[in-house]
């Protein structure tokens, strides 16, 4: 009985923790972007502007939630929830610390890949349901982007799976006790991180959004909390990809014992979140055909090669 | 590829540079003396209004935000009966200052003119008229002009020769 309660507690903590982190990233991102652009960013509301998050949340909750008359109503309402649901579901398989994992699935990575692929529906459906040409182009680009990154994303993780001999995330972390996967799987790490950038639709790969070209792309017609869902979904995606990078390539909770495992996990995760923001601050957006050709012509062969070499070495050592 | 990584690194280094932001309400940016801000009407060294209501400023104003009506005092000195600038339309281009023949209308370095009601942005002559001479000191239009309006007598102005006696034969 008490085990069930602990499990429920873990679920609630992960859910609330992740949503809180995602909301807090609104502040972190604005502040860090400002730091890298030699500005101050939001520093007025509360100490160091921390309560800016609260102000933003209050604002977005009280904004008019307008559904334009020309949209496909049902799909329009469902679309923003998909990204939240799929991303939050993906957190179920992330091991935050020994024992702190919602679902210790033996197909953990496959579940993550499946959920992140489903996340692409939010863009396609939102772009389609908005009945607006900019949104449709955004949705189209989202689909094009998805078919280019999804393939090498999965393949880049297979090297890790070969090394661990398991799809289970906890096993993958335990396998990295001697050496973090980033050393033998450096190419896999780079490819996965690029795919993760594309998956979260962050700059430089915010091609479906592209505010300088498509107004706001797939969420041009959204307002109020529906827009907020896309927003929080994007930050959840950042958190998820950072957490996955930590778990798969940087040893998850492993670290010197003077700090508890969960702290090591969070430190590593936030380091990657900051890398996301840094990349946003520095890199321009490629054309979407450039991303596609890059994905199919360079990253996919590279991922395959990485898989081949890793497999060969593992077989040779047996 | 390498240039992208270099870009990321260079952007990261910006973290350690000085912030360019001036945190406005506490610290204020330097405004140059000729900064084009709030418009004022100035007075001449004798403390009279410089404006002669020639309408040149209103004519040159690209947004038509200046409106005035000329009148004359008992000496025949021209002055505006009312002078009104609608600052909700003013674009602070400074053409009125350029057009003004008497240095009356001037733009001063001040921009903090926010109001809650739009009507409050319409400045009347009392709001515009300042006590001093503004940016151009010592100039008094009626001291160099030919007409006598009580400021000086005929032929007594600066660089002005005495009037010709039309009834004398000798030139």
Confidence grade of residue B167 (pLDDT, cut at 50, 70, 90): confident
What's the gap in Å between the CA of A1 and the closest CA on chain B?
Answer: 51
**Are the CB atoms for A36 and A278 separated by under 8 Å?**
yes
Tokens coding A44: 């007025």
The total number of structural domains that make up chain B: 1
Q: Which residues of B touch A278 (CB under 8 A)?
A: 8, 11-12
Q: Going by DSSP bridges, is the β-strand pair B66-72/B105-107 parallel, antiparallel, or unpaired?
A: unpaired
B contact test, residue of A34, A35, A302 with most B CBs within 10 A: A35
Longest dimension (CA), chain A: 64
The answer to whether residue B61 sits within a structural domain is: yes
The answer to whether residue B17 sits within a structural domain is: no
The answer to whether residue B154 sits within a structural domain is: no
The answer to whether residue B11 sits within a structural domain is: no
Segments of A191-273 assigned E as strands: none
How far apart are alpha carbons A152 and B47 in whole angstroms? 81
Phi, psi for residue B68 in degrees, rounded to 5 = -150, 165
Residue B60, pLDDT > 90, answer: yes
- From the CA atom positions of chain A, what is the Rg in Å? 20
The answer to whether residue B38 sits within a structural domain is: yes
Residue-wise pLDDT tens digits, A225-257: 888 888 888 888 888 888 888 888 888 787 777
Q: Going by DSSP bridges, is the β-strand pair B39-41/B78-86 parallel, antiparallel, or unpaired?
A: unpaired
Which chain B residue is nearest to residue A285, measuring alpha carbons?
B4
Helix orientation angle between A186-199 and A224-249, rounded to the nearest 10 degrees: 170
Question: In a structure prediction context, what are the per-residue pLDDT tens digits for chain A, which is 318 residues long?
Answer: 688 888 888 888 888 888 888 888 888 888 888 888 888 888 888 788 888 888 888 888 888 888 888 888 888 888 888 888 888 888 888 888 777 777 788 888 888 888 888 888 888 888 888 888 888 888 888 888 888 888 888 888 888 888 888 888 888 888 888 778 777 888 888 888 888 888 888 878 888 887 788 888 788 888 888 888 888 888 888 888 888 888 888 887 877 778 888 888 888 888 888 888 888 888 888 887 888 888 888 888 888 898 888 888 888 887
Residue B54 lies in domain? 31-144
The answer to whether residue B18 sits within a structural domain is: no
Phi, psi for residue B84 in degrees, rounded to 5 = -130, 130
Which CATH number goes with the domain that contains B38? 3.30.70.3270
Q: Prior bond to B15 cis, omega within 30?
A: no
User: Who among A37, A281, A283 is closest to B4 (CB)?
Assistant: A283
Which residue(s) pair with A100 in the sheet? A97
């Amino acid at each position: 009985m008490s085990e069930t309660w602990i499990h429920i507690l873990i679920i609630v903590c992960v859910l609330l923790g992740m949503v809180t982190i995602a909301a807090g990233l609104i502040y972190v991102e604005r502040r860090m972007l400002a730091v890298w652009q030699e500005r101050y960013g939001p520093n007025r509301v509360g100490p160091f502007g921390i309560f800016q998050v609260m102000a933003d949340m209050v604002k977005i909750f009280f904004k008019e939630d307008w559904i334009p008359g020309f949209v496909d109503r049902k799909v329009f309402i469902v679309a923003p929830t998909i990204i939240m649901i799929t991303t939050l579901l993906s957190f179920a398989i992330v091991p935050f610390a020994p024992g702190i994992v919602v679902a210790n699935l033996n197909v953990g990575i496959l579940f993550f890949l499946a959920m992140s692929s489903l996340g692409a529906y939010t863009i396609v459906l939102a772009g389609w349901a908005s009945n607006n040409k900019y949104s449709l182009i955004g949705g189209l680009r989202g689909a094009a982007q998805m078919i280019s990154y999804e393939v090498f994303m999965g393949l880049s993780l297979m090297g890790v799976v070969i090394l661990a001999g398991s799809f289970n995330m906890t096993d993958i972390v335990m396998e990295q006790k001697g050496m973090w996967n980033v050393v033998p799987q450096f190419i896999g790490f780079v490819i996965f991180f690029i795919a993760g950038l594309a998956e979260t639709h962050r700059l430089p790969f915010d091609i479906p959004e592209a505010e300088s070209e498509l107004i706001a792309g797939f969420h041009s017609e959204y307002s109020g909390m529906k827009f907020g869902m896309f927003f929080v979904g994007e930050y959840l995606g950042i958190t998820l990809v950072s957490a996955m990078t930590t778990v798969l390539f940087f040893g998850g909770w492993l670290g010197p014992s003077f700090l508890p495992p969960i702290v090591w996990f969070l430190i590593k995760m936030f380091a990657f979140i900051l890398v996301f923001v840094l990349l946003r601050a520095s890199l321009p957006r490629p054309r979407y055909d450039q991303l596609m050709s890059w994905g199919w012509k360079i990253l996919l062969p590279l991922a395959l090669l990485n898989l081949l070499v890793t497999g060969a070495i593992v077989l040779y050592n047996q | 590829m390498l240039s992208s990584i270099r870009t990321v690194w260079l952007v990261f280094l910006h973290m350690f540079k000085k912030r360019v932001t001036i945190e406005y309400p506490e610290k204020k940016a330097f405004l140059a003396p000729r900064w084009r801000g709030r418009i004022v009407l100035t007075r001449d060294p004798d403390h009279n209004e410089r404006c002669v209501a020639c309408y040149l400023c209103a004519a040159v104003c690209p947004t038509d935000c200046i409106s005035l009506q000329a009148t004359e005092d008992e000496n025949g000195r021209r002055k505006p009966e009312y002078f009104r600038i609608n600052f909700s339309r003013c674009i602070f281009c400074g053409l009125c200052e350029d057009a003004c023949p008497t240095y009356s209308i001037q733009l001063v370095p001040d921009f903090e003119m926010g109001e809650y009601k739009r009507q409050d942005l319409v400045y009347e002559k009392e709001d515009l008229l300042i006590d001093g001479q503004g940016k151009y000191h010592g100039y008094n239009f009626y001291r160099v002009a030919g007409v006598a309006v009580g400021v000086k007598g005929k032929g007594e102005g600066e660089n002005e020769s005495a009037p010709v006696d039309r009834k004398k034969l000798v030139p």
